[in-house]
Structure 1
């Protein structure tokens, strides 16, 4: 059975969908949920679903990303994951970290990549006057939000949308897209999946 570790920074709503999909579908086993924030609400949610957790506070390492990652790697490597999923993990990982999981690390990003890598994606889509927004699941590479796209879900931008209302609708699609992409990825299918989200 494919072993999956998940990295989070906050409430872990995408992580929960992945864990539930793995438990329900039996296509993989969640072996660890780890966070860069000791207080991340998602840690308790993961534990409630019987998944082991770990946390390493990035703030205690200052600007030394390599030292933080070395500490974070310990519980990850101990869990022996086959796949590493980033689910709202808000730290940029160094190329050295990414290389260790090359070809088996996924991320979900709240834009239709290659548009709007990085932060403030919904506001940037609104500012650009885009008719559509959405989310993407991609392989993680050393270049931020630039790896091969494995799936996307499209959400229409509605009149009067704010960054908050758009984000809420995109999040619904994230919860649908990520588990489907992970299931396909585990089965060896890296053909991009396209979902059309409703308003």
Structure 2
């Protein structure tokens, strides 16, 4: 049975597009049933419209508190009865109540090799640190910012003369490869998160994943 996916965005939506394309190519046994943005007039909403996907704006500026915003956002998501909520460049720090509401069925993608460089400006931080390897992580969402268990990472080289834009472009290419793959694992029932005493672990094919997520080796 095809699974329902809701995608949250804040901007261009290139990862949204990668997931839509994978669904339409039957690489994901699911459909993006709704796209929700916290900002109006972003290109990701146009991507949804181009594929006849229901889309909406829940503008965070219309709410006095983070709690009020997250409560309304959760209500709008629930209208679509999703099996999976995907954060694709959704630039909001989520409240604990929101995270708990969708615990175990919410994924995020973060442009670093977690646990390194949680938060913003990851590409410049990797350059400033003199790293020779950088990358991207797909992880389950927990109340700890960028701290949920990692499912899959992809690495890219950092070259001597790289700018943050150079590195971002290299990372984006890998994002578009691994995010649809992880979404596919989830909707096929192969991927799950299990929690015990505030410890969260990702499981793929009933095997616990390590700190860096799945590794074919």
8 Å Cα contact 1:86/1:108 also seen in 2: yes
Q: 1:171 and 1:99 mapped to 2: Cα distance?
A: 29
Equivalent residues in 2 for 1:120-131 (5 A)? 120-131=121-132
Write the distance in 1 (CA, Å) between the matches of 2:97 and 2:146. 16
What is the rounded CA distance, in whole Å, between the counterparts of 1:105 and 1:74 in structure 2? Answer: 15
Q: Is the 8 A contact 1:111 1:136 kept in 2?
A: yes
Q: Deviations over 1:126-184 (max 9, x none)?
A: 11111100000000000000111111010000120011100011000000110011111
Aligned mates of 1:188, 1:82 — CA distance in 2: 11
How do 1:1-199 and structure 2 match up within 5 A? Answer: 1-25=2-26, 26-62=28-64, 64-190=65-191, 191=204, 192-194=213-215
Contact 1:135 1:170 (8 Å CA) reproduced: yes
Give the TM-score, by structure 1 length. 0.94
Counting matched residue pairs gives 194
Equivalent pair of 1:9/1:40 in contact (CA under 8 Å): yes
CA distance, structure 2, for counterparts of residue 98 and residue 12 of structure 1: 22
TM-score scaled by length of structure 2: 0.86
Structure 1 residue 41, shift from structure 2 partner: 1.3
What is the CA distance between 1:22 and its match in structure 2? 1.2
Q: Structure 1 stretches of 5 or more lacking a match?
A: none
More helix by share: 1
State the Cα distance separating 1:194 from its structure 2 match. Answer: 4.8
Q: Alignment RMSD, CA only? A: 1.3
Contact 1:8 1:89 in 2 (8 A): yes
Q: Residue 136 of structure 1 contacts residue 149 of structure 1 at CA under 8 Å; is this kept in 2?
A: yes
Q: Would the aligned equivalents of 1:122 and 1:167 in 2 still touch at CA under 8 Å?
A: yes
Quote how far apart the aligned CAs of 1:14 are.
0.3
Q: Which runs of 4+ in 1 moved over 3 A?
A: 190-195
Instruction: Give the Cα separation in 1 of the matches to 2:72 and 2:95.
Output: 13
Tell me how far apart the structure 1 counterparts of residues 73 and 182 of structure 2 sit (CA, whole Å): 25
